Amino acid sequence: MVGFRTLLEKEVLRFWKVGVQTVAAPVLTAVLYLVVFAHALEGRAQAYPGIAYSAFLVPGLVMMSVLQNAFANSSSSLVQSKITGNIVFVLLPPISYLQFFGAYVLAAVIRGLGVGAGVLAATAWFVDLRLEAPLWALAFALIGAGLLGALGVMAGIISEKIDQMAAFQNFVIMPLSFLSGVFYSIHSLPEPWLRLSHANPFFYMIDGFRYGFFGVSDFAPGASLAVVGASFIAVSLATLLLLKSGYKLRH
pLDDT, tens only, 13-64 = 999 999 999 999 999 999 999 888 877 666 566 677 788 888 889 999 999 9
Q: What pTM value is reported for the model? A: 0.93
Average pLDDT of span 155-166: 91
Q: Give 181-187 contacts, CB < 8 A, sequence gap 24+.
A: 181/60, 181/206, 181/207, 181/218, 182/57, 182/60, 182/61, 182/63, 182/64, 182/206, 183/37, 183/57, 183/60, 184/45, 184/47, 185/47, 185/48, 185/56, 185/218, 186/218, 187/218
pLDDT, tens only, 194-244 = 788 888 999 999 999 999 999 998 899 999 999 999 999 999 999 999 999
Q: How far apart are alpha carbons 246 and 229 in whole angstroms?
A: 26
Task: Answer yes or no: are the C-beta atoms of 143 and 228 closer than 8 Å.
Answer: yes
For residue 187, pLDDT beyond 80: no
For residue 155, pLDDT beyond 90: yes
